[in-house]
Amino acid sequence: MGVSEAYFSSWADTGDQVEKEVATNYELGFHYEANNFSFGVEVFDQKIEDVVNYSDGDTVIYSSYASASGRTWVFELDYAFENADVSLGWRTRLVEGMGTIGGYEFDTYATSDIFGEWSPTEHVSITLSINNLFDRDYKDHLTLYNSSPTTQDDIGRDIRLSVAYKF
């Protein structure tokens, strides 16, 4: 998962007027592999103390709106077909809601993705992924929405096809 940038210094020259934030992060994961099957579960939790809120009269920065996120659970299943050089997988990401923060509602949401890869040669791989498979409307807690997390939904279903060649 990782940690989202909690404050973007390029938005304003704040000098020494902004105190540092303190974040406590916990990440726990489990991964199991047997033969051609793998299974993984991961959770990431971040708590931020002394959240940056800054105003110089012209510029207002509320980083808690941009960086706050609910507890995130990721479930993933993969299977590799040995003789066909094909692997298929499913990933579900569940983000727990945080209620109302600063007048904005941070709801619980879940998205599911499917993906597959075919390697016809040792140098070539072709990958197809469908992210947000069920075209779920949601607002990602970590996305900036022009200072308002309620102005737009995240992208819908996203289909990607890629071809890679390894030298």
Instruction: Label each residue of 31-77 as H, E or C.
Output: EEEECCEEEEEEEEEEEEECCCEEECCCCEEEHHHHHCCCCEEEEEE
For strand 60-62 and strand 72-81, is the pairing parallel, antiparallel, or unpaired? unpaired
pLDDT at 8: 47
Per-residue DSSP letter, 121? S
Token pair recorded at residue 167: 């030298």
- Contact predicate 106/148, CB 8 Å: no
pLDDT at 17: 61
pLDDT at 44: 76
Torsion angle of the four alpha carbons 108, 32, 77, 3, in this order, in degrees rounded to the nearest 10 = 40
pLDDT at 65: 45
Q: Give the closest residue to 114 by CA, choosing from 140, 94, 89.
A: 89
Intervals of the chain under pLDDT 70: 1-20, 50-68, 101-103, 142-153
Per-residue DSSP letter, 20? P
pLDDT digits (tens, 9 = 90+) for 2-43: 444 444 444 455 556 666 677 788 888 888 888 878 888 887
pLDDT at 146: 47
Write down the pTM of the prediction: 0.63
For strand 104-106 and strand 109-118, is the pairing parallel, antiparallel, or unpaired? unpaired
pLDDT at 6: 46
Q: Give the closest residue to 156 by CA, choosing from 126, 139, 128, 132.
A: 132
pLDDT at 114: 97
Alpha-carbon distance of 119 to 164, in angstroms, equals 9
